[in-house]
Structure 1
Amino acid sequence: MAEIGKANSTWRRSSYSEQENCVEARSDVGIRVRDSHRPSGPQLSLAAEAWSAFTMRLHKA
């Protein structure tokens, strides 16, 4: 995943995603997350700090 605070306009898929259950993220203005099967569908926008807290929590689980 892109480093927080560095703009990256490329959508990146998690290496942990299964083929049917994929999410993608990009960092340009904050962090945006979308369903890779619906690229023109809704996106979840998060502040970089919220994304960082979320991913850190996942690493602890």
Structure 2
Amino acid sequence: GDDSQRLIEDAAALSEAGAFGVLMEMVPASTAAAVDAAVSIPTIGIGAGSTTTGQVLV
């Protein structure tokens, strides 16, 4: 949806601006996978599925 697309675009903008990683909490797994595919920096998920570069389990 629109929220997913906005998150993907925001993550790409952060990556282009020099961010070293993206942390996503409670993001649908399909959106997290799309963000991971859209950026070259590491993605870390907290309750965001198993498709991120890494996970924080709490």
- Report the TM-score, using the length of structure 1 for normalisation: 0.25
* More RCO (CA 8 Å, sep 6+): 2
Give the greater-gyration-radius structure (CA). 1
Q: Which one has the bigger helix percentage?
A: 2
Q: Which one has the bigger strand percentage?
A: 1
